[in-house]
Amino acid sequence: MDEIKYPVLTEKTIRLLEKNQYTFDVSQKSTKTEIKQWIERFFNVKVIAMNSHIPPRKKKRIGPIIGHSIRYKRMIVTLQSGYSIPLFSNK
């Protein structure tokens, strides 16, 4: 469960929700099969396809020190029609 960090909600990912595609930021070490198995078990859904990419690094500056943001992998998960993942709780 530590491999999936959080769901991504941007303008593009909201448009992908109409196609039954969900986007998550995951650990860079995790593989597609690990994430697929975890999502299928945890959310009780059927995954059709997995796409992944690693976004470019962004510079961060704190005073005179220049560093980089933490690296992560972004996964786009396509679900079978009829399945969905609740991104927000109703609380």
**What residue ranges do the domains of the chain occupy?**
4-59+66-79
- Tokens read off for 58: 């962004």
CA 42, distance to chain mean position in Å, is 14
Q: Is this prediction's pTM over 0.85?
A: no
CATH 3.30.70.330 holds for 4-59+66-79: yes
Tens digit of pLDDT for each residue in 51-87? 999 988 888 888 898 888 888 899 999 999 999 888 7
Tens digit of pLDDT for each residue in 19-33? 999 999 999 888 999
Query: Residue holding tokens 């530590």?
Result: 2
Q: How far apart are CA 43 and CA 25, in angstroms?
A: 16
